[in-house]
Amino acid sequence: MPEGDSVYRLRERLDAATRGARVSDGELRSGHDAGTSLAGRTIESYATHGKHLLTRFDDGSTLHTHLRMQGSWTITRAGRSLPSTAREKARVRLRLDDGREVWGLDLPVVELVPTAREHDVIGHLGPDPLREDWDAAEAMRRLSARGDRPFVAALLDQTRIAGLGNLWVNELAFLRGIHPFAPIGTTDIDALVALAARCLRISATVPGMYQVTTGDRRKGSSHWVAGRAGRPCLRCGTRVRVRDEVANDPEQRRTWWCPRCQSIPGGADVGTPE
């Protein structure tokens, strides 16, 4: 599932390729604004907040989109077209003056809002470490307000801190040495927020370090626990355990941990090693 660093990198690619480009033809194909023409607008800038992408136009409007599990963006060269199977999933189409086309595919969230009202669609989100207005103190305050919440639940709550998805939450639990289902208040939240911000920024901006948490970019060695069910912990050799977060979860989120490096105080470890 795309996380805040994924969307930030997407923003950088779209910005480099299309900022300042004029839309000669195009439209929205889903959501309440389906059928709205985007022709005549110029792409002024892009911004992100957590996992949300904001495309700002020169007429004072903003296209708000979210990838969730399945969404993606692609750009086709002038004279080239998408395969018919991909075109069927198009939710946004922007034909630029130079003939290129920008496609938003299978996006579950597509809406056009006044740029001055962006707060209406992202105002509920917590502070984002990848934004210039990052407020670490506010993120700590929000996480500390419910210190009894399980670690994974608290960090996945985008109203507390925005941009952390399943991979980062699991890896941060390991790095902090806390069981993923232990109360978040049992770890140093100040240190946790600082670590989360540092990890997201490195992943989003350092070449070759995208979602590498161990410092080792080799296949199978880039994560401490995520995706490593049944394999030996890279630190102590204990078999990594896994548990589905929610039964029949459409997002198929799973929680991984090392029962030795992340022991749960006073409780039995629950999960399967494979």
CA dist., res. 56 & res. 27, Å (int): 15
Pick from 19, 179, 31, 38: nearest CA to 95: 38
Active-site annotation, residues: 2-3, 51, 253
CA dist., res. 61 & res. 112, Å (int): 7
Phi, psi of 62 (to 5 degrees): -130, 130
- The neighbouring-strand residues paired with 111 are 64
Is-contact 2 165, C-beta < 8 A?
A: yes
- The neighbouring-strand residues paired with 56 are 45, 62
Is-contact 17 75, C-beta < 8 A?
A: yes
Pick from 262, 218, 222: nearest CA to 239: 262
Q: Report the relative pairing of strands 61-66 and 72-76 from DSSP bridges.
A: unpaired
| Angular region, 18: left φ>0, alpha ψ -120 to 50, beta rest | alpha
The DSSP string of 131-171 is STT--HHHHHHHHHTTTTSBHHHHHH-TTTSSS--HHHHHH
Burial class (CB in 10 A: 0-12, 13-18, 19+), 113: middle
